[in-house]
Amino acid sequence: MQLRVLGTAAGGGVPQWNCACPGCAGARAHPDRRRRHASLAVRADDDHWYLINATPDIADQIEHTPALHPGPGARRTPVAGIVLTDAELDHTLGLARLREADRIEVLAADPVRAALRERLRLDDVLTPYADLAWRELAAAPAPLSAGSDIEISAVPVSAKRPRYAAGSRTAATGPWVVALRLHDRRTGGTALYAPALADWPDAFQAAVTDADLVLLDGTFWDDEEPRRSGFATRTATGMGHLPIDGPGGTARRLAPLAARCLYTHLNNTNPLVDPAAPQHQELAARGLAVAAEGMEIAL
């Protein structure tokens, strides 16, 4: 299994266009600190890749990843589809950026698909440009594409809805937010991708224990970060993200695992966006690290 890290930032990216916090100011002064929205590319076979989440940076992410470039035909692309972990805007707005495609295959849980079709009316908007081919993302493992050795399955993690769907009524059932389990039947390698983690249910614990690689929600360093930074009145957990550090932090849960564990989806206020921050050393002491954009991982 081949994976490529396309982005590692939470909503807004780093720097965020309307923010002058230390993380954003540092990224403007030092371009190497810039982070695109969190996303991952997975190779299904020799000719096809799937992108996990369609971020506002999707076109830029493709251009910065040669394996995703079109060719040899003039309009032939190796990007075969999109897999969605939730219905948040920073994970779905990139679908509109793909309107030049003849067909866009989208794997999503039923509530996510319903939100995008009923609340954002994505089918109505994109159908005049491209065919949206929806495919169910289920808990049972299924080939990522026909004939692929890569199996994909959804691990439900929370019922957190995006703000635009908070009051909606839908007949769709199932989880609103999932982690993705990717398993290579040929090599036996397993990766778990969870960029948005509000809870740590038993099924998720079982999945991280079984994984060789875990890419996890690192939005906030500690629970008070959003309030301390002055941009929110809620804590990290109140905003639907388990913090990294602290008594309820995810670092304590990840440290004992045999898997390689990398944090992604960093908010611009997270001190980890500065490569010189001492928090990196704290992670390293626990055997943990932050994912690097452009990183290639083979399992």
Confidence bin at 119 (pLDDT 50/70/90): very high
Confidence bin at 174 (pLDDT 50/70/90): confident
Q: What is the mean pLDDT of residues 142-153?
A: 97
The C-alpha atoms of residue 204 and residue 194 are separated, in whole angstroms, by 10
CATH number of the domain within which 87 lies? 3.60.15.10
Q: How many domains does the chain have?
A: 1
Confidence bin at 236 (pLDDT 50/70/90): very high
pLDDT value for 74: 87
pLDDT value for 216: 98
pLDDT value for 32: 95
pLDDT at 220 over 90: yes
pLDDT value for 172: 82
Q: What is the mean pLDDT of residues 242-258?
A: 96
The C-alpha atoms of residue 224 and residue 56 are separated, in whole angstroms, by 27
Q: What is the mean pLDDT of residues 199-209?
A: 97
pLDDT tens digits for 252-266? 999 999 999 999 999
pLDDT at 86 over 80: yes
pLDDT at 171 over 80: no
pLDDT value for 84: 98
Which pair of structure tokens corresponds to residue 230? 């002055």
Which pair of structure tokens corresponds to residue 70? 């079109």
User: Do 192 and 212 meet the contact criterion of CB atoms below 8 Å apart?
Assistant: no
Q: Domain limits at 278? A: 2-298
Maximal CA-CA distance, the chain: 54
C-alpha distances (whole Å) from 52 to each of 22, 141, 254, 282 are 29, 16, 22, 29
Proportion of the chain above pLDDT 70, given as a percent: 100
Confidence bin at 169 (pLDDT 50/70/90): confident
pLDDT at 95 over 90: yes
